[in-house]
Amino acid sequence: MCDDADMNCPRCIRRTQTADLGAYRSAGPIESPIGLVEEQHPARVTISRCPSCTGAFATHEAMNAIDGYGRDRGRGRTTTAELARRAAAPGGRAITCPDCSSETTRREWSFGTLIFVDICIECRGVWLDGGELEALDGTPST
Checking if the pLDDT of 109 tops 70, the result is: yes
- Domain assignment of residue 19, yes or no: no
- Domain assignment of residue 41, yes or no: no
- Domain assignment of residue 127, yes or no: yes
Q: Whole domain around residue 140: which residue ranges?
A: 57-142
pLDDT digit string, tens, across residues 12-36: 887 666 655 566 666 666 778 899 9
The pLDDT, as a whole number, for residue 78 is: 59
The pLDDT, as a whole number, for residue 1 is: 47
The pLDDT, as a whole number, for residue 28 is: 63
Which DSSP string do the residues of 10-40 spell out, in sequence order?
EEEEEEEPPPP--SS-----EEEEEEPEEEE
The pLDDT, as a whole number, for residue 21 is: 59
Checking if the pLDDT of 2 tops 50, the result is: no
- Domain assignment of residue 9, yes or no: no
- Hey, is 128 helix, strand or coil? strand
- CA dist 70 and 25 (Å) reads 54
Q: How far is CA 61 from CA 15, 95, 126, 132, in A?
A: 34, 21, 10, 17
The pLDDT, as a whole number, for residue 137 is: 82
- CA dist 32 and 16 (Å) reads 8
Number of domains in the chain: 1
Q: Which pLDDT band, with edges at 50, 70 and 90, does 82 fall under?
A: low
- Domain assignment of residue 90, yes or no: yes
- Domain assignment of residue 126, yes or no: yes
- Domain assignment of residue 48, yes or no: no
Whether this model's pTM surpasses 0.85:
no
- Domain assignment of residue 4, yes or no: no
Nearest to 95 by CA among 105, 80, 85, 110: 105
